[in-house]
Amino acid sequence: MSKKSTHSSTEHSHLLKQVRGGEQKVMKKSLSLVVTGALVTSVFASSAFAAELTTQQKFDALKAAGIVEGYPGGSAGLDKNITRAEISKVVALLQGLGEDAASSKYKDVAANYWAKGYIGAVTKAGIVNGLGNNLFGPTQNVTVEQVAKIIVESAGLTPKADAAVSGAVSAWAKGYVAAAIEAGLIDQQASYKVAATRGQVFEAAYDLSSASAVSVKSAVAVDEKNIEVTFSDGQVVKQALTTALVAGQATKVDVTYNGKTYSVEVTLQAVKATEAAQSGAKAITVKFNRALSATEKTYLDGGFAVKSSLTSFPVTAKFADDNKSVVLSAVYLPAGDYTVTVKGTDAPFTVKIAASV
């Protein structure tokens, strides 16, 4: 096999899918890629993941996730070239496409060819297309610039058409190469027209999958029966619990997001009042650190005291719809300084009541 592709730029336009628009400058988090990324990166989560992994370690992680395979005898063949058939398999599995032999109708891909299903899958998805004349060229080597286009589009990056690229690169590929370099998915080199190695593809595949992996950013107890989990992609999952949380007790909860189960630990804060202020001519609003449960509201029933000097002022309590505050209403509250005491909260609050509000 040759070490260098001789396709024209027109042929290259059929080789890989066209950009489908959009000005995204960050990676899309497709479900399949996110789940794959979590699986791949979890291989080294407890040891070397925190440090820079070698290409061999990245290959090992991809292999453990079922994305790639080595040669007989266990060699990764990192310095060997990679063919269109081989990269089709990597892309299909990385994107969660599986196999689709029915969509592979090329004259040069036999019915029993090992990669027929993967070729069909990436063809149907528009990621790697044929060469024209109903040919796919499964044994042809893939160049670095072709790999750049595949990974840039898989990542949802915007090609940088006007960016300068140091090194030999085809005009059609310059924007993809620039975007891939900026994203850290390929390294700078003297020529991007040369055949890519398996190691280069495995590096890009691992980095792409790990960049797309979602992790738990935070988990908080809203109240005794509800939690909110925020993920690294910005999504928030709200989950109702069947068993009430106990204040002050750390509790592990399983939360499912995008088909993956995450174990999070939450601790329900002990309820306490955080502030009190005048909210009407004869009203004071007390706010709490979180939403109160029905049990906690019952506990606080009759647990509010409003005094001015030695005089107590009877109040009625009405909790807000979100159960995060309560309005204490009195028949009469003359202007002056008041002390508001809340059951379960150590220090009383000082509230100044104005003649009018």
Q: What is the CATH number of the domain that holds 283?
A: 2.60.40.1130
- 13 lies in the same domain as 59: yes
Q: What is the pLDDT of residue 341?
A: 96
Q: Rounded to the nearest 5°, which phi and psi values hold at 306?
A: -120, 120
Q: What is the pLDDT of residue 36?
A: 46
The answer to the question of residue 3 being in a domain is no
The contacts of residue 72 (CB under 8 Å, 6+ apart) are: none
Q: Is the pLDDT of residue 177 over 90?
A: yes
DSSP characters for 232-254? TTS-EEEEE-SS---TT-EEEEE
- 157 lies in the same domain as 92: yes
Please tell me the distance from the alpha carbon of residue 176 to that of residue 165, in angstroms, as a whole number.
Answer: 10
Q: Is the pLDDT of residue 16 over 90?
A: no
**Tens of pLDDT along 188-230?**
999 999 999 999 999 999 888 776 656 788 999 998 999 999 9
Q: What is the pLDDT of residue 48?
A: 40
- 31 lies in the same domain as 166: yes
The answer to the question of residue 4 being in a domain is no
Please tell me the distance from the alpha carbon of residue 292 to that of residue 321, in angstroms, as a whole number.
Answer: 10
Q: What is the pLDDT of residue 212?
A: 60
- 187 lies in the same domain as 235: no
Give the residue among 180, 146, 145, 184 at the shortest CA–CA distance from 160: 180
What single-letter amino acid sits at 286? V
The answer to the question of residue 349 being in a domain is yes
Q: Rounded to the nearest 5°, which phi and psi values hold at 57?
A: -65, -40
- 231 lies in the same domain as 314: no
Q: What is the pLDDT of residue 319?
A: 97
If you average pLDDT over residues 287-307, what whole number do you get?
Answer: 93
The answer to the question of residue 298 being in a domain is yes
The answer to the question of residue 121 being in a domain is yes
- 259 lies in the same domain as 333: no
Tokens of 338: 């008041």
Residues above pLDDT 90, as percent of the chain: 55
Tokens of 321: 């719809």
Please tell me the distance from the alpha carbon of residue 254 to that of residue 266, in angstroms, as a whole number.
Answer: 11
**Tens of pLDDT along 59-103?**
998 888 888 888 888 899 999 999 999 999 998 888 888 899 999
- 312 lies in the same domain as 254: no
Q: How many residues does the chain have?
A: 357
If you average pLDDT over residues 306-332, what whole number do you get?
Answer: 95
Q: Which domain holds residue 341?
A: 273-353
**Tens of pLDDT along 269-290?**
999 999 999 999 899 999 999 9
Total structural domains in the chain?
A: 3
Torsion of CA 194, 195, 198, 202, to 10 degrees: 60
- 129 lies in the same domain as 205: yes
- 288 lies in the same domain as 179: no
- 116 lies in the same domain as 235: no
The answer to the question of residue 257 being in a domain is yes
- 155 lies in the same domain as 62: yes
- 114 lies in the same domain as 236: no
**In this structure, are residues 22 and 155 in contact, taking their beta carbons and an 8 Å threshold?**
no
Strand partners, 286: 276, 326
Q: What is the pLDDT of residue 300?
A: 94
Q: Is the pLDDT of residue 27 over 50?
A: no
Mean of the per-residue pLDDT values of the chain: 83
